[in-house]
Chains A and B, each alone.
Chain A
Amino acid sequence: MIAIFHNYGSLLLQGFGQTLLCSIIALVFSLIIGSMFAIFETTPIKFLRVIARIYIEVFRNIPLLVITMFFFVVIPMFVAKINGFTAGTIGLTIYTSAFIAETVRSGINSVDPGQMEGARANGLSWWQSMRYIVLPQAFRYVIPPLGNQFINLVKNSSVLAFVAGFDLMYQGNVIASDSLNTMSTYICIGILYLIITLPLSYWMRYLEKKLA
């Protein structure tokens, strides 16, 4: 195991960086897209609600691998060439945004509807009350679940291994077949994933307790 870290340190580090990078990019974009659809779902406009519902249901019920492979294989044939890392990050973003939309929506719903009514009564528009009154409160509720979504995102980023995205899992497969020391390699990879996910998961549990 130490030999693996020693001989393949730079590959592991590169993979670690790529995994972190694509997780963070995907988190930022899926937060934006997810919040957007969550707001759509709570608007009084029926058309937007239907659009949001369809988006969420479709991408929550299709495997991440199918979405990612779609961007890696199908899109380049008809639209534009995208590499494995980008395809993987887009796949992760779309998949995660559907889950984040659900999370944020439940956060918005848990804010007392009286808040919205009060804000409207005071002359704020629907969007203003959403933006300044409801959303800030909603996000406080949903920080722990969002943290858990980020942990899932880091774990799910292993899907990049299927599309040669140079992430940690991809490098793991390469190292395993080069060193032929399969188990030691995957244990090293596991430790590197835990370095990201384990502290996060304890932190989120702490936050959950604090908020409850």
Chain B
Amino acid sequence: MKKFFRLVGVIISSLALVLVLSACGSKSLADQNVVTRAKRTNTITWGVKADTKLFGLMDVKNSHINGFEVDMAKAITKQILGPKGKAEFVQVTSSTRMPLLKNGNIDAIMATMTITPERLKQVDFSRSYFDAGQSLLVKKGSPVKNVRDLNHKGATVLGVVGSNSVQNVAKFAPKARVLQLSDYAQAMTALKSGQGEALTTDNGILAGMSVENPGYVLTGGAFTKEPYGIAINKNQPEFKRDLNQALTKVEQSGQYNRLLNKWFGNVPGMNIKEMER
């Protein structure tokens, strides 16, 4: 008799599990109109990085996140919602940002995210707001001069889970082994402790790291084009239009160039004049 009930329990539990699984597979709740909700609550929730100098970095003094992307997000929020509009920030990493957007925890991602064809299958992007290119960060005096130098067995390249730079390494240096860490702070720490010969990601991010860590330099120039876009959920044409319009206004008013100069003006190896809009 007891065995029978155990069997029944197993069957019911597996049914329940299947139910939960199918619920997980069903459509997410991120389908409501973001613009309508943002206007009602007077806030847009942005997913930003907190470990990336110049783009989004945690200030240990007051627990605020600062950087180019944070300032841009604030400017765009004010363009869409008016001067009283609030921008809320949720800290994301390369691996958490997509699920958080799809789940509706955040309205938009502004976290050094390149517009790629694969990602366009999953999400929509605004126009590019920053043109980066993938590069390498190595210890000063390293024999690695460009990405081809890493294309041999035994070479280890460090990257971050969920970034497309690790996939690019497979294209440019297929023989190298790639270690994917959970965020840039971890990856930089791993580079310093010699876990890999080079850290690869976009030049803007690497520039920030080399400012912090004088013993490390960018090498080999950019070997890909990485236009950063604001990622939003699909089926939000209104939000996408508003974002693009707001971006245009920020650019035309000269605010874009001011922010660019504020964050990247003193970074060696960055050609600001070329990037101004």
Contact = CB atoms under 8 A, between A and B. Distances in A.
Interface of A: 1, 72-77, 81, 83-84, 161-164, 170, 173-174, 176-177, 180, 182-184, 187
Given A180-B122, A187-B21, A72 B180 contact: no
B24 A183 contact: yes
Given A177-B161, A183-B24, A84 B95 contact: no
A182 B103 CA distance: 11
B217 interface: no
B95 A176 contact: yes
B182 A184 contact: no
B98 interface: yes
Given A176-B95, A177-B95, A84 B195 contact: yes
Given A75-B193, A173-B182, A187-B21, 20 more contacts: A1-B21, A72-B193, A73-B193, A76-B194, A76-B195, A77-B194, A81-B194, A81-B195, A83-B195, A164-B180, A164-B181, A173-B180, A174-B180, A176-B95, A176-B99, A177-B95, A177-B98, A177-B162, A180-B98, A182-B98
B145 interface: no
Interface string B93-119: 011001100100000000000000000
A22 to B, nearest CB: 16
20 contacts: A72-B190, A73-B193, A74-B193, A75-B193, A76-B194, A77-B194, A83-B195, A84-B179, A162-B182, A163-B181, A164-B180, A164-B190, A173-B162, A174-B161, A176-B99, A177-B94, A177-B161, A184-B25, A187-B21, A187-B24
Contacts of B190: 72-73, 164
Contacts of B99: 176, 182
B161 A77 contact: no
A183 B182 CA distance: 18
Contacts of A163: 181
B277 interface: no
Nearest to A162: B182
B179 A164 contact: yes
B271 interface: no
A74 B95 CA distance: 25
Contacts of B94: 177
A73 B24 CA distance: 37
Nearest to B98: A180
Nearest to B100: A182
Contacts of A182: 98-99
Contacts of A1: 21
Interface in B169-200: 179-182, 186, 189-190, 192-195
Contact of B193 (A77, A164, A170, A180): A77
Contacts of A170: 180
B264 to A, nearest CB: 28
Contacts of B179: 84, 164
Given A174-B180, A177-B162, A76 B95 contact: no
A107 to B, nearest CB: 32
A65 to B, nearest CB: 11
A4 B194 CA distance: 33
A76 B190 CA distance: 9
A120 B50 CA distance: 64
A155 B98 CA distance: 26
Contacts of B162: 173, 177
A73 B189 CA distance: 7
A180 B95 CA distance: 10
Nearest to A181: B25
Contacts of B180: 164, 170, 173-174
Contacts of A74: 193
B100 to A, nearest CB: 10
A170 B178 CA distance: 13
Nearest to B123: A180
A77 B192 contact: yes
B156 to A, nearest CB: 8
Contacts of A161: 182
A76 B21 contact: no
